[in-house]
Structure 1
Amino acid sequence: MRIIILNQFFYPDHSATSQLMTDLAESLVERGVEVTALSGRGRYNGGTRLAPREAHRGVKIERAWATGFGKRSVAGRLSDYLSFYLGAAWKLLTLPQHDILMALTTPPLIGLLALLIGHARGMKVVTLVQDVYPDVAVALGALQPGNPLTRLLDSLGRFVLRRSDRIIVLGERMRERIGAKIGSNCCARIDVIHNWADGAKIKPLGDGVTSFAGEHNLRDSFVVLFSGNLGRVNEFSTVLEAARLLADDPGIQFIFIGDGTRASEIETFIDNHNLANVRMLPYQPRELLPYSLAAGHAHLVTLADGLAGLSVPSKTYGILAAGRPVLFVGDPRSDIARLVVENNCGASVASGDSMRLAQIIREWALHRDRLAELGIAARRLFETRFDRPHAVNSYLKTFAQCLDAAPSHTASIPAD
């Protein structure tokens, strides 16, 4: 089996989809699949351009020419998108034919390119929906519902989904959203495959045992941690107001690790309210992730209102792997809110309810035994459903269905 994975970012970029697809590609190679990753030469947040091609743990990486302005401006992002479309089209036309071409949704509508060229060259096309476009942009106010551009983008998106050989979505709520867009006759081709973390690399560690906690003076604090992209899909106003309400408790610290378009909003709030209990740290190297996650006693996962079923925060699975409780802030109809409540591995708070969020954090800080129980439930859930081998097996089944063949590469889930 020969597969192309098409996404704007891949190893060594630190973006979530890059890390996930790198994990998947490595595991597929271990199962005997020949994988080519087609990405751009830029990085998620701009910076040094990457080599046009390289090999990584058996994965062939081809990088299309594109600008590399990163996510700091709308003009730069549009330039990166448009130039990547052109560069990726050329690569898809000139790369050797593969059995399957799997396209993600970064950038939006790259799947249209994959569909047209992939089918023209005799390849099966799988669409992996990480975010539902243009619905996400409409929900965030970047596009107006019903205007000509939105209708055009929506029509093109539906066209891609209806003609893809298989569609992969990240949760049941997203399956419902996609099913409503493309019609019930297409739903049999939709597979739910959750994102994942690597349970062999991220494991529960005791409080205060890591050098990360010591280096950042966190060993004597109850740490509420947000780790990842500080992007527009997140809901930070509720969290920041809760931090303001808890400013009188020096034993509770809010730590934001990462960067993104809303980083300045958080910095401004900290300055305006003179908050000593909120700190921001830069992205940490991926090899330090188990230790930075262990520094948090409670982990924030947020999602802006209106995005239930349109986007699923992948950071959730690393938190579960680390055996830490999840504090979800956002729409209670989202897959993550349901997951947390149904499996008793954290708490779900509606957007705007800063008082309740602050109350939960105070209670958890006082009752560490209850917190430990939630963490044990989180790790148990992770091992049952969200460890890396589970996802890899599911992808292989989807690919086999796509080729109308029985899966021959599926391996058993190793015992922990």
Structure 2
Amino acid sequence: MREENWMDSNKAKKNLLIYAHYYIPDAASTGQILCELAEGMLDRFNITVICVVPSYLGTIDEQYKTKKYYRENINGVEVLRIRVPEFSKANKKSRIKNIVSYFFGAMGATFKVGKQDYVFSISQPPILGGLLGVWGKWVKHAKFIYNIQDFNPEQVLAIGYSKSKKITDLMMHFDKFSCKKSNLVITVGRDLVQTLKNRFEGKKVPNFVMINNWINEKEIYPLSSDDENVMQFKKKYGLEDKFVIMYSGNIGLYYDLENLIKVLKKFRKGYNKEGIYEPGPKTKDGREVVFAFVGAGPVLDKLVNYSKKHCFENIVFIPYQEKSQLNYSLNAGDVHWCVNAKGIKGVSCPSKAYGIMAAGKAILGVLEDGSEIRSLIEECGCGKCCEPGEYGKIAAEIRYFISKAGSPELEKMGRSGREYLEKNLTKEVSVRRYEEEILKL
């Protein structure tokens, strides 16, 4: 009887297909968000995810190299994985080949997942993510929800990734097409809403809503500095008894990290080009200052080479952390960078801010005035911000945080961020809003 009731309940749910590109165990932030969204909506939907085999860092495990498709059930979510070629994030051609393989593989996989009432796609990979949603809508005769985490070609134009106007105009044509064909566009920031409106220049704007991203505040939370796991993390990477200013996340093209690391020369510990040893700054309580970069991405090699060339002894590079270790790594930082390159306002929203706030840490924001995350930081007072490209002011903010090491002021910033997140940016609040907006269609 119980089994029959369960089957009836399952049949009563609507079917929702998600094109995710990356999904757990991959460390991509969008993959983590979509995992929590999918699992959080299982009470209202039967959910299927189409994604690639685990490959976010470019390599693929042998167990995923023999078949074209792999089926899994992860915590109640049906997952259909597509085999794609390995790639290097530093090699544009191999990256494009990988993405195109996912796109066509996902189109084929759409025929393998049965009836769907809703199709949900994100703006990753750029342009193709939206087109997959349109394809799914047509093939499945379903309603299409387009979740825009990043606007392209606006992002491409902001960093000069493509110089071809023909290419960027074509990208804009296709992504506007995806927006028009959607039943609902969901953006993740107030500034992104304005970008959507600007695209259509006062003409009919597609149906839209803004829902913030989130962090699972029950998995990421403040820990004491002497927590055993935090101490183990610090010891492993030479951060013991140091004042740690940390960047954690994708070391990619949209954050101006190549120029930000040059600012750190003012705080270097090591030999300068004249062969004179510079001891580096210390906090009032005698701790050395260390800059930690946690993650990977196409800019990582440039940062590593710069650090070596200029003989930094107080820059540490740490690999991506498994989700189970993320709370300890975030808590190992005293202050966290949250940065975007100039021109990214209204284009992208760095979700890393939510993890920093959840861990109760102060934020050093390099973000444009009026951008979603800067607005959140200023609303709750959880950090200090300056404009991208204002490198003198960025150096001044670093000095400020060093001068306040261990102070009640820094602790208050971290606490304010955590309290604001608990009230406004929890997983439960955002997931419920996704459910409500989808079921309205």
Q: TM-score, normalised by structure 1?
A: 0.92
Q: Deviations over 1:357-403 (max 9, x none)?
A: 3332333233221100101111011111111111101111111122x
Cα distance in 2 for residues equivalent to 1:74 and 1:35: 33
Over the matched positions of the two proteins, sequence identity in percent amounts to: 26
Match status 1:98 vs 2:130: no
Q: CA deviation at 1:72?
A: 3.2
Paired position in structure 2 for 1:63: 81
Q: Deviations over 1:337-356 (max 9, x none)?
A: 22212321101122233333
Q: CA deviation at 1:186?
A: 4.5
Cα contact 2:120–2:145 (8 A) shared by 1:
yes
Cα distance in 2 for residues equivalent to 1:205 and 1:394: 29
Q: CA deviation at 1:236?
A: 1.4
Paired position in structure 2 for 1:355: 392
Change (3 A) 1:292 1:382: same
Match status 1:127 vs 2:146: yes
Q: CA deviation at 1:249?
A: 1.0
Cα distance in 2 for residues equivalent to 1:299 and 1:188: 36
Paired position in structure 2 for 1:233: 254
Cα contact 1:7–1:105 (8 A) shared by 2:
no
Cα distance in 1 for residues equivalent to 2:390 and 2:307: 19
Q: TM-score, normalised by structure 2?
A: 0.87
Q: CA deviation at 1:241?
A: 2.9
Match status 1:35 vs 2:36: no
Paired position in structure 2 for 1:405: none
Q: Deviations over 1:38-92 (max 9, x none)?
A: 0122512211244711110000000134323252311111111211121111111
Cα distance in 2 for residues equivalent to 1:205 and 1:242: 30
Cα contact 1:67–1:84 (8 A) shared by 2:
no
Cα distance in 1 for residues equivalent to 2:365 and 2:239: 22
Cα distance in 1 for residues equivalent to 2:243 and 2:392: 18
- Structure 1: which 5+ residue stretches go unaligned? 403-416
Change (3 A) 1:237 1:83: closer
Partner-residue secondary structure (3-state), 2:21: coil
Match status 1:289 vs 2:330: no
Change (3 A) 1:220 1:335: same
Match status 1:9 vs 2:11: no
Paired position in structure 1 for 2:11: none
Cα contact 2:16–2:46 (8 A) shared by 1:
yes
Q: CA deviation at 1:94?
A: 3.1
Partner-residue secondary structure (3-state), 1:86: helix
Cα contact 2:180–2:206 (8 A) shared by 1:
no
CA RMSD of aligned residues (A): 1.8
Match status 1:212 vs 2:233: yes
Q: Deviations over 1:135-183 (max 9, x none)?
A: 11111112236x2222111111111101200001010000000111135
Cα contact 1:270–1:278 (8 A) shared by 2:
yes
Deviates more, 1:352-361 or 1:269-278: 352-361
Partner-residue secondary structure (3-state), 1:296: coil
Cα contact 1:238–1:351 (8 A) shared by 2:
no
- Aligned pair count? 400
Cα contact 1:238–1:353 (8 A) shared by 2:
no
Paired position in structure 1 for 2:130: 111
Highest Rg: 1 or 2? 2
Q: CA deviation at 1:293?
A: 0.5
Cα contact 1:243–1:277 (8 A) shared by 2:
no
> Structure 1: which amino acid aligns with 2:179?
L
> Structure 2: which amino acid aligns with 1:392?
V
Deviates more, 1:93-102 or 1:258-267: 93-102
Cα distance in 1 for residues equivalent to 2:206 and 2:415: 36
Deviates more, 1:347-356 or 1:128-137: 347-356
Structure 1 residue ranges (4+ consecutive) displaced by more than 6 angstroms after TM superposition = none
Identify the match of residue 402 of structure 2 among 365, 370, 377.
365
